[in-house]
Amino acid sequence: MHPAKSVIYFTVATGAGYGLMGWLAVFGVLGLVPADHAFGIAAFGLAFFLIVSGLLSSTGHLGRPERAWRALSQWRSSWLSREGVLAILSFGPTGLYALAWVLLGQNSGLVGIIGLVGAGLCMMTVFATSMIYASLKTIPGWSNRWVSIGYLVMSLMSGSVLMLVLQSTFTVGASGLIIKIAIFFLALGGIIKLLYWHSLSTLPARSTATTATGLGGLGANGQVRMVESPHSEDNFLLKEMGYKIARKHAHALKRLALVLGFIIPMALVATLAVLAPEYSLPVSLLAMVFVALGLATERWLFFAEAKHVVTLYYGETEI
């Protein structure tokens, strides 16, 4: 599939924003972070910026972005529509939670429960985003059990690193706990990506040109191969769904994504446990930069490696 920049930014940015919103709710209701005014403005401002900018960016991949609102009416059958509905619903409780935190100085008790409801809707939105891809059986690389798990874990992972950056900036809350949480989710995220890539390389092909045409029952005479291209030049399907990346490049990018997005940030976050407090902000910021680069690379691969069954018509032997 063609890896559109708008969709890459959308999935990475909203995942981080929703993850941060979730940790703000959890830490607030448990009393681990005080309802500090400046911290609240910065934290919720960053979370809402990532969420809103990501959602707006996602419309850039549409042929008619001005009609994006129409997708909301198909929530009974479309995960894209459910994602939109859940995203809108999540703004209610998260907005109230943010106002109570910033204006009233409250983030626990009933206010904390409202925050947890918002956090739940945020995670449901991330899950709905993952299911837009995981529900497509025509793309075996996406119709995979690790896709939804990966989206949720990496949302919480990037959100925890953002939370660490904010706590390092404002020196509030249980920074030791968020360091442990960030390390855990960075490690878990890396393991899940390895499991996902392993499953893609070991699962048998679901469809071939022979099974797609239904000619397999004819024995040797039913084996299908392309004699010539069905088109004299590239069309929309080839440009959008026939994107190809060399195997050697894919392996190199996987290693790069793993190192940038998981291993280096985990090492940087781990050093915060022994470094002096004045180094916590630059180190946590550096970890967040590496996470962003790694996730962008991982998400680019997620789209670039995906093969649609329609490419069997254009020369692919199996999908």
Write out pLDDT tens, residues 223-233.
777 676 677 66
Give the closest residue to 191 by CA, choosing from 239, 154, 144.
154
* Residue 162 confidence (pLDDT): 97
pLDDT at 49: 98
Is residue 122 domain-resident? yes
Residue 160 lies in a domain: yes
Cα gap 38→41, rounded to integer Å: 5
What six digits make up the tokens of 223? Answer: 């084996």
- pTM to 2 decimals? 0.92
Cβ-proximal residues to 284 (8 Å cutoff; 6+ apart), any chain: 161, 164, 165, 168, 268, 269, 272
- Cα separation, 122 vs 119, in Å, equals 5
pLDDT at 289: 98
CATH code at position 125: 1.20.1630.10
pLDDT at residue 143 tops 70: yes
pLDDT at 276: 83
Residue-wise pLDDT tens digits, 3-61: 889 999 999 999 999 999 999 999 999 989 999 999 999 999 999 999 999 999 987 76
The end-to-end CA distance of the chain, in Å, is 13
CB neighbourhood size of 271 (10 A): 13
Flag whether 81 is in a domain: yes
Q: What backbone torsions phi and psi does residue 318 show, to the nearest 5 degrees? A: -155, 155
**136 neighbors 75 (Cβ within 8 angstroms):** no
| Proportion of the chain above pLDDT 90, given as a percent | 64
Helices (H), the chain: 5-29, 37-58, 79-99, 109-134, 145-170, 175-202, 209-213, 236-241, 247-258, 264-271, 280-304
- CA 299 to CA 276: how far, in whole Å? 34
Residue with tokens 């929309």: 236
Most confident range (mean pLDDT) of 12-21, 276-285, 299-308 is 12-21
Cα angle 295, 136, 201 (rounded to 5 degrees) comes to 60
Does residue 207 register a pLDDT over 80? no
**What range defines the domain where residue 72 resides?**
5-314
The more confidently predicted of residues 241 and 296 is: 296
Rg (CA), the chain: 22
Residues 3-39 as b/e (b if ≥16 CB within 10 A, e otherwise) read bbebbbbbbbbbbbbbbbbbbbbbbbbeebbbbbeeb
- Crossing angle, helix 79-99 and helix 37-58, to 10 degrees? 160
Q: What residue type is 21 in one-letter code?
A: M
Q: Are 119 and 21 in contact (CB under 8 A)?
A: yes
pLDDT-based confidence at 202, cuts 50/70/90?
confident
Going by pLDDT thresholds of 50, 70 and 90, the confidence category of residue 318 is: confident
Q: How far is Cα 174 from Cα 87, in angstroms, rounded to an integer?
A: 29
3-state SS, residue 318: strand
**Residue 319 falls inside a structural domain:** no
**Per the structure, how many domains does the chain have?**
1
Residue 127, in any domain of the structure: yes
What local confidence, expressed as pLDDT, does residue 73 receive? 82
* Crossing angle for the helix pair 109-134 and 5-29, to the nearest 10 degrees: 150
CA distance 123 to 134: 16
The region of weakest confidence among 4-18, 143-157, 169-183, 213-227 is 213-227
Mean pLDDT value across residues 95-99? 98
Mean pLDDT of the chain: 89
